């Protein structure tokens, strides 16, 4: 582990790596906030896959009982359980609502375990894996959006999943796309604060 990686709190850990990213590109900007994000609806998707997996295990067990626990058919039990589980999960996902809308082709792809960084001049989205534990700087950003390219921000919407509160928000872009993000429960407070600061900073130019 490098010296930069030792005993740095998470916020400063990410802020330091973002400053390296900015400096390499000749950008003199202040890092204001760095918050964990995921694609909107991911918490619900994860829960639905867990439900599907549980149902699939039961289905495999029932099929095994019907086969008497032996014979050639038993090798098909994992496939049966997996197929049933996927079907249940897909059905649940198809029926769920994502308040800020589902991602479209114009939106780009958000990392499943990401970091949203607000600087004085831009929004950056990093994969946490790209931030690195053993390197003092990220190699690349998944998205690098000057604040002038942000057209607006939706009202944050609280979504409760399995007893946990998450918050979803859509950040509109002048390109026609949007960042449809979700702050997981541990990031709700800091995420809503980041959104409020973003709205304040784009207010003179949004629209």
Residue 207 falls inside a structural domain: no
Q: Rounded CA gap, 192 and 183, in Å?
A: 8
Residues 103 and 35 occupy one common structural domain: yes
Residues 53 and 138 reside in one and the same domain: no
- Alpha-carbon distance of 43 to 162, in angstroms, equals 9
Domain limit, last residue, from 31, 61, 95: 95
Q: Are residues 68 and 140 in the same domain?
A: no
* Closest CA relative to residue 37, chosen from 146, 176, 142: 142
Task: Report how far residue 71's alpha carbon sits from residue 21's, in angstroms, rounded to the nearest whole number.
Answer: 59
> In Å, what is the CA distance from 151 to each residue of 7, 14, 75, 84, 173?
38, 26, 55, 43, 5
Residue ranges in the chain modelled with pLDDT below 50: 1-7, 47-49, 51-56, 58-64, 73, 76-77, 80-82, 84-96
Same-domain check for residues 116 and 169: yes
Other beta carbons within 10 angstroms of residue 85's beta carbon come to: 22
Domain that holds residue 53: 44-95
Same domain, 103 and 129: yes
Calpha distance 96→124 (Å, rounded) = 29
Residues 88 and 140 in one domain: no
Q: Under a CB-based contact definition with an 8 Å cutoff, are residues 2 and 166 in contact?
A: no
pLDDT given for residue 49 in this prediction: 47
Which CATH number belongs to the domain containing residue 10 in this structure? Answer: 2.30.29.30
Same domain, 137 and 91: no
Domain stops at, among 74, 95, 116: 95
CA distance 87 to 79: 12
Residue of 91, 133, 141 lying closest to 5 (CA atoms): 133
Tokens of 158: 């609280």
pLDDT score at 55: 41
- What are 137's two structure tokens? 């700087």
Same domain, 108 and 198: yes
Same domain, 157 and 57: no
pLDDT for residue 110: 87
Tell me: do 71 and 152 sit in the same domain: no
> What is the pTM (predicted TM-score) of this model?
0.70
Domain count, the chain: 2
What is the 8-class DSSP label of residue 22? H
Claim to verify: residue 154 and residue 188 sit in the same structural domain: yes
Is the same domain home to 127 and 62? no
């Amino acid at each position: 582990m490098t010296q930069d990686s030792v005993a740095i709190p998470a916020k400063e850990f990410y802020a330091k790596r973002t400053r390296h990213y900015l400096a390499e590109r000749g950008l003199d900007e202040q890092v204001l906030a760095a918050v964990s994000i995921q694609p909107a609806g991911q918490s619900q998707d994860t829960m639905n896959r867990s439900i599907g997996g549980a149902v699939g295990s039961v289905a495999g067990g029932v099929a095994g009982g019907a086969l008497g626990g032996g014979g050639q058919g038993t090798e098909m039990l994992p496939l049966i359980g997996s197929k049933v589980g996927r079907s249940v999960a897909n059905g649940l996902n198809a029926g769920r609502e994502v308040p800020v809308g589902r991602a479209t082709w114009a939106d780009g792809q958000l990392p499943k375990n990401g970091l949203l960084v607000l600087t004085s001049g831009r929004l950056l989205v990093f994969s946490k894996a790209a931030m690195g534990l053993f390197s003092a700087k990220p190699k690349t950003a998944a998205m690098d959006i000057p604040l002038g390219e942000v057209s607006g921000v939706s009202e944050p919407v609280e979504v409760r999943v399995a007893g946990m509160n998450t918050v979803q928000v859509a950040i509109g872009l002048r390109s026609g796309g949007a960042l449809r993000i979700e702050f997981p429960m541990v990031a709700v407070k800091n995420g809503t604060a980041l959104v409020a600061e973003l709205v304040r900073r784009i207010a003179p130019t949004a629209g």
